[in-house]
Structure 1
Amino acid sequence: MDEVGRPRPLTTSRSALLSEGTDQAFREMIGELIAFSGRLQEIREAIARAMGVTPPQYNIVMTLSQLGDEVTVTDLAERLRVSVPFIVTETRRLEELGLLEKRGDPVDRRRVKLVLTDEAAAALDEIAPVQVRVNDVLFQTLGPRDLKSLSRLTRGLLGSCDAALEEARSAGRAEV
């Protein structure tokens, strides 16, 4: 109910997301996801600062450390869901910091592969104990089955994001 006692319009029509005809539990879950996302971002920002880079640079370094040496600018932009010009700017800064090298692809000279330097590897080794402590605390309530479930659910939610974003954007365009 709103402040005048009228029922609030539902924010979902899926029966699986409704409880006793209301979306209250769904709304609370969305609020908790938003709060978790914000706190997770703050945690990552603190780790980035401890590593001496900006949060976007930290995301790039962490992603490259997971993906290996065959990553192109376009691959990285798609993976991080950001623009190619943004990746070009940030990787240039990482190069200046000595954490990244750009290597031409011998097969396709138009492509550039992004490679972390030994200095980046040393920085990752140095920050790893902090990441371990943070993750151990952050995810202390999860067991092995929870981790698998959360991973599966997160992949599913991320898979729905593009279509949901298009729905949200089309609502804004329809009003114009």
Structure 2
Amino acid sequence: MATTSATTKMLTVTNPACLVEGSDREFRHLVNGLLPFAARLLSVRDGFGSLIGLTGVQYSLLRSISHLSQKGEVSVNQLGDHLHLSGPFITIETNKLKELGLIEKKSHPDDKRKMRLTITARGTKLLGELLPVQQQINDVLFDSITKSEFRMLCSVVDRLVANGDRAALDLEHLKARKQKG
């Protein structure tokens, strides 16, 4: 059996919260489970989009505009923040949705640089037609999750996304440093 110091050197994570009895086994199990789940989520999103003639990203944008507009006006920046996508990417994709007649883009009356996004009747109709399939598939995706587990996932996901952004940036810096040296 390896020594404690050799075992510690082989850990893929050192955050004490992610270690169980000094092992990273559960951490690796979590990551190895999240990866295929993330792939399946993307596949489902793409499938929802294809059912209404859109890409998965376009579907997400349309659904998010519909959702966010229930609380007020929706801007390109708000939508980008909500989906963790860049403003320029949102602009390109929302222009495509506008061309399809699914959303409207209008300048904000107080700041002409900002664009207000609203879903059209046609966009609302498409999302409504998709709703029974979306409900069925989402119910299957989260079939074995309890209410308390669901609430826990919701409370953790934003922190994980922010951590993921920071980790990806750190990794890019490390890769750039390695390429230079």
TM-score by length of 2: 0.87
User: 1:104 aligned to 99, 104, 107, which one?
Assistant: 107
Please state which structure has a larger fraction of its residues in helix: 2
Between the two proteins, the alignment pairs up a number of residues equal to 172
User: Match of 1:151?
Assistant: 154
Please report how far the alpha carbon of residue 116 of structure 1 lies from its aligned counterpart in structure 2 after TM superposition.
0.5
Cα distance in 2 for partners of 1:96, 1:24 equals 49
Q: Does 1:61 align with 2:58?
A: no
Please report how far the alpha carbon of residue 140 of structure 1 lies from its aligned counterpart in structure 2 after TM superposition.
0.8
User: Match of 2:45?
Assistant: 44
User: Match of 1:83?
Assistant: 86
Q: Does 1:131 align with 2:134?
A: yes
Cα distance in 2 for partners of 1:83, 1:158 equals 15
After TM superposition, the structure 1 stretch with the greater mean CA deviation from structure 2, 126-135 or 151-160, is 151-160
After TM superposition, the structure 1 stretch with the greater mean CA deviation from structure 2, 97-106 or 163-172, is 163-172
Cα distance in 1 for partners of 2:86, 2:80 equals 6
Please report how far the alpha carbon of residue 161 of structure 1 lies from its aligned counterpart in structure 2 after TM superposition.
2.2
- What SS class does the counterpart of residue 171 from structure 1 fall into? helix
Please report how far the alpha carbon of residue 87 of structure 1 lies from its aligned counterpart in structure 2 after TM superposition.
1.5
Paired-residue identity, %: 34
The superposition leaves residues 130-163 of structure 1 with CA deviations (integer Å, 9 ceiling, x where unpaired) of: 1110011111111211111111121221232232
User: Match of 1:32?
Assistant: 33
Q: Does 1:168 align with 2:174?
A: no
The superposition leaves residues 89-137 of structure 1 with CA deviations (integer Å, 9 ceiling, x where unpaired) of: 2111111111011112111122110111000111111100011100111
Please report how far the alpha carbon of residue 78 of structure 1 lies from its aligned counterpart in structure 2 after TM superposition.
2.6
Report the residue type matching 1:43 in the other structure. Answer: V
The superposition leaves residues 43-71 of structure 1 with CA deviations (integer Å, 9 ceiling, x where unpaired) of: 11111100111111011001101110511
Report the residue type matching 2:117 in the other structure. Answer: L
- What SS class does the counterpart of residue 173 from structure 2 fall into? helix
Please report how far the alpha carbon of residue 17 of structure 1 lies from its aligned counterpart in structure 2 after TM superposition.
1.5
Cα-Cα RMSD: 1.9
Cα distance in 2 for partners of 1:111, 1:81 equals 18
Cα distance in 1 for partners of 2:148, 2:140 equals 18
